[in-house]
A and B are shown apart, each in its own frame.
Chain A
Amino acid sequence: MIWDWNFTLQILPVLARAAVVSVEATLLGFVIAATLGLVLAVIRIAVPWTAWTISVLVELIRSTPLLIQIFFIYFVFPKFGLVLDAFTAGVLAIGIHYAAYCSEVYRAGFDNIHRGQWEASIALNLSSWTTFRDIIIPQAIPPIVPALGNYLVALFKETPLLSAIAVLELMQTAKIIGSETFRYTEPITLVGLFFLAMSLVSAALIRTLERLLNRRNAR
């Protein structure tokens, strides 16, 4: 028999527990990506001479595979005295990788702020910290929320890579079930369906969010 429903019901709770790990990795990774990305984008504007260095750094991170970066943090960092467990190393790698993408999104957001806003802040003698916190960021962030949301979904779909350094997330759990029972059909298909469902739901949420933001801006 190709599909065994009893087996499916049996492995479902195990996979559900693993899904929690995947979601945790996604959320933690995205917190790193969103914060570090914002920091990079702000430094780039606030300290002009770093702009070139940061854009080369972003290009370096975006041009190399995430899998190799995960290996790099997990295997190479310990040589320099920084030993991380698999989960932390993986989340850090995913976070830094997507911070590079997010910093470009923030940059687009900042570029869309009218020049006059900066000039008005200078005229009002606001410090650059106050300008960013109270004037620029509150205007720049809302329009780019959907773009950041897309990266959240993309990041979520990268979490199966953590199975390569044996983090017990969905894919690794499915592989273990497969190698123990010699039945790969159900676990791997279920993992695929889980990702599909989550992606479709989040795509719908992002569309709704986009509509809400557009409506608010139009008013």
Chain B
Amino acid sequence: MGIRTLVAMLVVSLAVIAVLATQATYRLFLPGLLQGAVLTIEIAVLGSLLAVVMGVFAALARMYGPAPLRWLATVYVEIFRGTSALVQLFWLFFVLPQFGVTLDAFPVAVLALGLNVGAYGSECVRGSILSVARGQWEAGTALNMSRAQMLRRIILPQAFIAMIPPWGNLFIELLKSTALVSLITLSDLAFKAQQMNQNTFKTVPIFTLVLLMYLAMSLVVSIGMRLLERRASLGLARGRAA
């Protein structure tokens, strides 16, 4: 789907929210839902940062690390990709305290979602590093660069462009997964919706607004990643032409 269509969908969804907000039955719920949306955004941003760090670290450890580190990274990726995000969230929230580590719901949410998406991310980091042509490594060797130098200055900048679209999908997955944190007592957008629904039974306005708000947030991520991709590959095209 083109970036224009995405922008059009974003404008339409924001316009629908604005139009609905003129009606009293909808306006009533808006402040509370916006409050929840702020928490959702906080968790999504922090979780994404953790996911990127974990993804890059796990991929590099798996590809170039010494044996024990490689083994550890593989176990991490398999465990977090093999079990469900909700199970991980509950495990960190309910079971970890039994081992003497008690965390608040907020750090648990960031940790669980970041580690979960990071595991998927490490596969896409690995794939994009492998997609860089072999000749680039050979040229680096010919220039007498060390392995770390080649990776940092030659390989990763090129792999970065290939990484953008899959990471965009993962950030949207993470944003959507933040709805799960409502089940460990955090009052995010999904939690506020359920709470208001139980208090007022005004199901239709509440859930319509919530769906539109999540849609708008996802579209912002999609559009942002498209712009980033465009910018990054612009540099590549120029580099090739020169």
Contact = CB atoms under 8 A, between A and B. Distances in A.
B84 interface: yes
A2 interface: yes
A160 B90 CA distance: 11
Contact of A158 (B84, B90, B222): B84
B172 A63 contact: yes
B87 A67 contact: no
Given A65-B177, A184-B95, A59 B214 contact: no
A59 B183 CA distance: 26
Given A68-B179, A75-B203, 20 more contacts: A2-B99, A56-B5, A60-B215, A62-B172, A64-B176, A64-B214, A65-B214, A67-B180, A67-B190, A71-B193, A75-B207, A76-B207, A79-B203, A160-B84, A161-B86, A175-B90, A188-B90, A188-B94, A192-B83, A192-B88
Classify chain A's interface size.
Answer: 35 or more
What are the 9 A-B residue pairs with the smallest beta carbon separation, nearest first?
A63-B218, A65-B179, A184-B94, A199-B82, A65-B176, A157-B84, A196-B82, A67-B179, A160-B86
Most buried by B among A71, A76, A157, A171: A71
Interface residues of B, number: 43
Interface of A: 2, 55-56, 59-60, 62-69, 71-72, 75-76, 79, 157-161, 163-164, 171, 174-175, 178, 184-185, 188-189, 191-192, 195-196, 199-200, 203
B63 interface: no
B222 to A, nearest CB: 8
B24 interface: no
Q: Which applies to chain B's interface (DSSP): helix, strand, loop or mixed?
A: helix
Given A71-B193, A178-B94, A196-B79, A64 B215 contact: yes
Interface of B: 1, 5-6, 9, 78-79, 81-88, 90-91, 94-95, 98-99, 172, 176-180, 182-183, 190, 193-194, 197, 203-204, 207-208, 210-211, 214-215, 218-219, 222
